Structure 1
Amino acid sequence: MNILIVDDDRFVIAALKQKMDWPSLGIKEVYSASNIRQAQSIFQAKPIHLLISDIEMPQGSGLELLSWIRSEKYETQAIFLTNYADFNYAQKAIELQSFDYYLKPIEFDKLELIIKKAIKKVETSKIKEQSIGTGNYWQKNKEEHQQHFWEKHLKEDIRLTEEDLQKQLKIKQIDYSLGDSFVPLLIDCFPYKLVNYQTIHSVIEQESHFQLKLKTVITDAFRSHPIHLDSFLKLNQNTDDYLALFRLNDGADVLLDELVSSSNELIATAQEKLNCAIQCRLGPVRSLGNVKQTFKELHASKKESIDFRNNVFLFTHQDKEDKKYTEPNFQLLEHYLETENRLSFMNKCDQYLTSLANKKILSYSVLCSFRLDVTQIIYTHLKKKEILANKLFQGKTHDFLLEQSSRSIEDIMIYISYLVDVSLEYMAFTDSQKSVITTICDYIDQHYQENINRNSLAKVVYLSPDYIARFFKKEMGVSLVHYIIQKRVAVAKELLAHTDLPIHIISDKVGYGNYSYFTKIFKKETHYTPVDFRKNSIFKS
């Protein structure tokens, strides 16, 4: 058993360590910390069964520490030490389920009695946990066997005979029979939001916690049916899709309308409690031997039928005929973009996609064709403005939204809105020539020692190199190359006049690795060599 003592007074920690006979109390390790941050690090690294903590500390109170311990689910008994008999402290300590509350100065015989009681409570809790754990282990072991069976069975391409399937069940000690019936429910989650068309915000803080909450929501939604959640699988570590497999109770019948109603309840609860949109694809009741084929068909239908989030879709055999792509009114979309009419542009895209969904002809391939055409319209418009779209739209946000865009109508609309918003904002920025010039000059001021040219600046302001060179000279009255030279020479003059740095070092510092070339450029701009300029500066001073 381990104990942690937390107090900003090192003399209190030393006294507790030395004057208490910890081994006789059954304490193996005594750790100490002087603030919350140190205490949290110890909790994360070591098992702590008992905590003795001061309440008033400069870098956070002991009550804050215990609140964190409870939120992290650590099973620890806490004893508080304090100089103040404050009712509010005592009330908060009780709320956080502290074991005891002790006023300083410390009387070690009385504190020892409190510690013994706390240790006894820790030991009692351990026995209770072990008892519960034994039953939980059996149940968990059973669930893990079932989950492993389904993960392997559903992913394998081999079609098993009934005899082979029975053999596998026997080897894995799973109590299924070939007559058992299951209902598959495919769940797509959309746990992200785009904030200010720049930042991806995910509602998932920890994947394991989210899965546990989602599983609980699913179980509650279908609680009234003669089925129970038999297995819950995450289908791919890189995606947010899951499979819930419900097993029918012996001799039970289920009504499709009731399952759809519960699926809608699941969607509503997920929005409320998980702050997450989802799609549900409900499969038919199938015997054990047919679940695999149904799952494959259900999974294939998800990709081929694009629709809105927060809907329930019933399994139907897909029509193998390719859905034809009918182009939207591109001229109208181009007009909206030219006139910077964002609302009409977005509404037109939304109406087009909704119309296709209502007609049941919005497939994955149709959506990809539409996405390509809309992207091309936006890229072409940016090119007219000399903006490099491939530079403007790069990075994690763009790549994430592009990857998500084929999952639902909302996702493709989020991606399009991102493209439009970023485009309009940057066009407004480039319309102000002074803003672009300021950005370029600021960049040169900070990076003059690097290899700067119009191509590298194109990556900074997302404009074509030729256009940068043209308008820079027009606005500044000097070429971009000459401006960079002037900046470097100005810095070199300062270093020559006010430092003792060797000239070859100054040459490097202003971006000229070749000393001879630096001397040539410097003399051309100032009519002095660097050596003569330094001598002249010293003479003047």
Structure 2
Amino acid sequence: MHKVIVVEDDRIIRRGICQAIPWGEHGFVIAGEAGDGEVALELIEKEQPQVVVSDINMPFMSGLEMAKQIKDRSPETRIIFLTGYEDFKYAQEAIKLKAFDYLLKPVDSEYLLTKAKEAAADWEKESVKEKRIIESLPLLQQKFFQKLIREGDYRVDVEKELLGLDVQMEGPFFAVILVKNTIEQDVEGYFFKEKITSFTSSYFNELNCLVMNSDIGEYTILLSLENDHDSRKAELAQALFNFLNKEIDDTITITHGRAYPNLFEVGKSFLEARVAMDMRHIMGTGRVISLDETVSKCDEQENLVLDLEMKLENHIKSGLPEKAKETLVDLSTAIVDRKSVALSDLKVLGLKFSTMLFFEIEKWKKEDLKNSFNSSVIYKDIMELTTLTEMIDILHILIDQWSTAMFRKKEKNYYSHVDQAIKYMQGDFHDSSLTLQKVAELIHVSTPYLSNLFKMEKGFNFGDYLLELRMKKAMELLGEGDIKTYEVCEQVGYSNPQYFSICFKKYTGVTPAEYKKKFK
């Protein structure tokens, strides 16, 4: 039903419009009536009607004065003015205010109803159009950034494209921050973007920042800065990273480009942030990276990398696990300094040395170590790795296996690390700040190292195990008695009831409310 509010100082005319016209039979409801503009404004702001039928000349506040304020309080509302011949002079002002129509009294009831239908149809058409624009905007934003990556800022009219996306920034300098995570679901992605937008707005007003979709699980923050050394850019990047790390149980990587004095040059800042993001497999995920960090310090590092690869190969063939471990550390440092090793090359390197280490482990292992590793799992992990740290951790684990097999001794190995992690998680899963990084710090290992150990030993990852712990406890609580969903949410480690409900349905197939009904 479309809402109509009638504003007319003549009570008889007002009641006639409200009662003589069969509004309900034609999809309308009278949401209120008023005798002057001041009273009407409160109604309009509250009800947000599709149509307002108003006299133009009234005491206290005229229809024209009211219309000016309606544009701020209920901008989508269509206004139909009624007036006598003597007030026709107001027609020009009504046109300026973009009134939907201007009818002379006495107005025919059927004619007024027809105009109200036209006004409601116009509102509907504009509403659908606006909804389509809002729904398609993330896709349009992604297409713009993909075009920018593909063609470069020198071939794309960045300023024109941004204006087409309704982007208006104050300046005088402009820069880009990129935020990347692995959430791909639409609903979770929406919450993630909302968190970024809310936090960013605490640093910049709405005309100085804008969060846009640049790819799946990736968001671009456009910033207006005071100068090219404005410290707020780096401060925001680090503060946002710290905030998201606590709010999102996922790996967050943030990069930023330089600041430029023209809006059309913001494309350069985006491409610089993009380069930094593409180097995250070397620089490491789960951190803030600036473009300057990714600039290579020494082009001669390539030869050093090749020399260390050969050295590591010789240590493995010579049966020197401790030397191999030392060289692996040096190789990791050299690759980081070089900053130009492709991810595909890292995977080839990982496969080469993991194969060599498998051979050595098979040669030395005893019966008690027969099932201590799974080669197919590690092969899959290497093919899916996204950072240098992940590859180095996998090889470190294999060297430890090799060393244990060679010297037939039970030293502290990765099994105890995983067991310690699981024990801690079982006791503290209700902690909303519990993350892989926090658990890794508590048991004194690196985050990627612990992540790989989970998959190698248990066959599942940290996030899946934590989700299972929380969901099983949530199911138990929901089945015990009359407990509120938000209470369960807090008791199993979630700070956002909506996100908890999404996770619960994904795990069980039903919402918390639907699950509770089973026990009534």
TM-score by length of 1: 0.38
Q: Which has the larger radius of gyration?
A: 1
